[in-house]
Amino acid sequence: MNTINDTNFEFPEQKSVYKGKVREVYTIDDTLLVMIASDRLSAFDVILPRQIPFKGQILNQIATKMLHETADIVPNWILAAPDENVAIGHLCEPFKVEMVIRGYMSGHAAREYNAGKRVLCGVAMPEGMHENDRFPSPIITPSTKADNGDHDEDITREAILSNGIVSEEDYLILEDYTRKLFQRGTEIASSRGLILVDTKYEFGKTREGKILLIDEIHTPDSSRYFYAEGYAVRQQKGESQKQLSKEFVRQWLIENGFQGQDGQQIPTMSDEKVIEISNRYIELYEQITGEAFVKASTENVLARIAKNVNAFLANN
């Protein structure tokens, strides 16, 4: 089965290309971005050796759908999705922070809490909480946006403002947009029998100075979901929550001695594990969208992408 690991397109009026952990972003004529979702898998800010079939298509199609379903409350960058793995939209200058918002004490927050910390990114976490408990109200715990695959780092609101990373005027908008998006995402998830546990949003500014939501939203790479059914019972019994997110990949890596730290070796991922992960991504797609996942043809996948993107650019 063909997967997308790396692309090297030359589109008309292409100015540059940026290759992130899982996406490859082509700048067209200083006005458009062509974002291609690869099948690469990253965890602990490390790109893993094996690609996951259909992962890029799944992420792109969930993100595109969620951008459309939130466009009435927050303006976003997207113009079109001419291919299953591609989104095209407005070129923006990204803010150098990621707006992480958490409704529940899970993942990174839980690891910090269990290590004895009660303040995360300058935000207090109540005493007496257990892993996966709901916070009294969602908390925003921003991180610096890493370049070239380096680790993202927690940062406080105060540090963002005092260091001039984002102006106070703009940051107030980012906070407002983040809370509105999380509320809408929570409502969408609830309608599908899921709990949106935590997620992150990225924003950018157009040349005209308008702030837009950019990149993906509410995908398993950027978000954590629990199944709503049985959540309270499992929590009362102290059991692990049934979840749909990339956390199961992180847990598998942790169990095999890898957390992205220097000197640690990435464990070998079997073909069976690759298919299991692919199936988990498909499960999340169908659960969060309420639609059956239709696998795109993977025969000559790069030629397919080139044809569809070129056709869009020729007509716009």
Residue located via tokens 């998830």: 189
Q: What is the chain's alpha carbon radius of gyration, rounded to the nearest angstrom?
A: 19
Place of tokens 């809370």: 179
User: Which pLDDT belongs to residue 149?
Assistant: 47
What is the rounded distance in angstroms from the CA atom of residue 268 to the CA atom of residue 302?
27
Give the mean pLDDT of the chain: 93
Q: Which residues pair with 205 in a beta bridge?
A: 93, 211
Structure confidence by residue, pLDDT tens digits, 99-116: 999 999 999 999 999 999
* Distance in angstroms (rounded) separating the CA atoms of residues 102 and 115: 18
The model's pTM is 0.88
Structure tokens at 252: 């598998």
List beta partners, residue 43: 46
Rounded CA separation 273/83 (Å)? 27
Tell me what the mean pLDDT of segment 212-237 comes to.
Answer: 93
Tens of pLDDT, residue by residue over 181-201, are 999 999 999 999 999 999 999
Question: pLDDT tens, 262-312?
Answer: 889 999 999 999 999 999 889 889 999 999 999 999 989 999 999 999 999
Q: What homologous superfamily does CATH list for 95-206+213-245?
A: ATP-grasp fold, B domain (3.30.470.20)
Under 8 Å CB-to-CB from 149, ≥6 apart: which residues?
20, 21, 45, 46, 47
94 strand-pairing partners:
204
Other beta carbons within 10 Å of 219: 25
Q: In sequence order, what are the residues at sequence separation of 6 or more whose Cβ sits closer than 8 angstroms to the Cβ of residue 44?
A: 250, 253, 258, 259, 260
What residue ranges do the domains of the chain occupy?
95-206+213-245
User: Residue 220 — very low, low, confident or very high, per pLDDT cuts 50/70/90?
Assistant: confident
Residue closest to 108 by CA, chosen among 45, 186, 47, 58 = 45
